[in-house]
Amino acid sequence: MKPYQWPMLVVYAAAIFSKSKSFRDNPVIGSTSLNKMGLHLFRRRLAWRMGIRRRAQLASLITAEDRAAIDRDGYIVKRDFLDPETFEKLRNEILGLQTEAREAVIGDTLTRLIPLDGRNMGKVPATRSVLEGPAFNNLLAYAGSFRRRPRLFVQTVFTRVLKDAPPDVQSFFHSDTFHPTVKAWLYLEDVDPASCPFTYVPGSHIANRRRLAWERRVSLHAATSREPLTAEGSLRITEQELARLRYRVPESLAVGANTLVIADTSGFHKRSPSADQARRISIWAYSRSNPFLPWAGGDFTRAFPRLHGWGLHLFWFAQDLVKRMGKARGGWRWVGVRTPATPPALDTGGGPRRG
Ligand SMILES: O=C(O)CCC(=O)C(=O)O
Ligand SMILES: [Fe+2]
């Protein structure tokens, strides 16, 4: 711990009981000696136990079969999720959406996010009723172990937009964080093996003995890891290590349009790299809460959906402001009006802009 960090000690220590995950940015969470004494494993185990407990509270929301799949594999694939007519309506609404978008080029991949906030949701009524309906939300709640309103976006991934850039950081196996958490993709177009399918290591969401021993080892030096993702608490793992942990073979989810994939992304996963330019359009959802809470409900933002949307815009505003102050470069920015399928316009210069 550096001397200038001492006055913040209480704040750093309080973060032990939050979803904070960065070993690098928090000298308590990243402390080698505390992690030798078991701090990381303590958080990991307690968060896992609370997650199981919350999932048990939500068990009646979904079928026994779906529960078994999520409990066993850490992910679930729902092919033909919507009836064809509803899906057609939803797809037309989403592909026709023309609105302000955020984009980031990470490695050789451009990702576009269009927030499905109150304003955009108002333009897509069929989509809205699906995304606010029980079939979608109950699966998401169980997988994420919280009954919370997820963040919703249209996500378009354009692969290989830059020729000589390093690969996208997401194309290496990693775990997003140390506790149960959920991401979901409802694909609007077929995802063939070349359009960077989501790949998941079945069963890798389970905090078993081998996994915990591996994490304990990694936690000792994660704060100074050369892998930025590991230092930030999204532990990266090599294919050899995965084999040593005796996981099943990774499943690459090249699936048809109208497939819903929901995953606990504390399990190991990646975006399969793609050799050529391809695009992947989905409705993307994620949700993350304090992993130490013993109860699954109690989300006051469910009663105030508009507030939920503002929260995200406020976060982006702050993120852009910090960037404008010169503390961070590259990354996410508003790029003006786009549809989900507008081809990428590669103007890499400049900071965040509106309109
Ligand atoms: O988009 C994907 O296939 C996975 C990317 C990823 O790792 C994530 O969203 O956490
Ligand atoms: Fe991830």
- Rounded to the nearest angstrom, the distance between the alpha carbon of 274 and the centre of ligand 1 is 14
What are the pLDDT digits (tens) for 171-182? 999 999 999 999
Q: What per-residue confidence (pLDDT) applies to 92?
A: 98
The closest ligand to the CA of 106 turns out to be 1
Q: Where are the domains of the chain?
A: 3-288+298-312
Q: Per-residue pLDDT for 298 more than 80?
A: no
- Reported as a pLDDT band with limits 50, 70 and 90, residue 302 is low
Q: Which atom of ligand 1 is nearest to the CA of 269?
A: 7
pLDDT of residue 319: 77
289 C-alpha to ligand 1 centroid (Å) = 18
pLDDT of residue 207: 96
State the pLDDT at residue 354: 31
Provide the mean pLDDT of the chain: 92
How many angstroms does the Cα of residue 6 sit away from the middle of ligand 2? Answer: 32
170 close to ligand 1 (CB < 6 Angstrom): yes
8 vs 136 pLDDT, higher one: 136
Atom of ligand 1 nearest to the CA of 174: 7
**In testing the pocket of ligand 1, which one of 270, 282, 332 has its CB within 8 Å of the most ligand atoms?**
270
Asked if 138 contacts 62 with a C-beta cutoff of 8 angstroms, the reply is yes
For the stretch 217-251, pLDDT in tens is 999 999 999 999 999 999 999 999 999 999 999 99
Whole-model pTM? 0.93
**Residue range 124-152: mean pLDDT, rounded:** 97
Q: Of all atoms in ligand 1, which is nearest to the CA of residue 185? A: 1
Distance 49 CA to ligand 1 centre (A): 25
Q: Does residue 355 register a pLDDT over 80?
A: no
* pLDDT tier for residue 152 given thresholds of 50, 70 and 90: very high
3-state SS, 51-104, equals: HHHHHHHCHHHCCHHHHHHHHHHCEEEECCCCCHHHHHHHHHHHHCCCEEEEEE
Distance 287 CA to ligand 1 centre (A): 14
pLDDT tens digits, 262-277: 999 999 999 998 889 9
pLDDT in tens, 76-119: 999 999 999 999 999 999 999 999 999 999 999 999 999 999 99
Judged against a pLDDT cut of 60, whether residue 125 lies above it is answered with: yes
**Type and span of the H or E element at 108:** none
CATH topology of domain 3-288+298-312: Jelly Rolls (2.60.120)
Q: Which atom of ligand 1 is nearest to the CA of 196?
A: 3
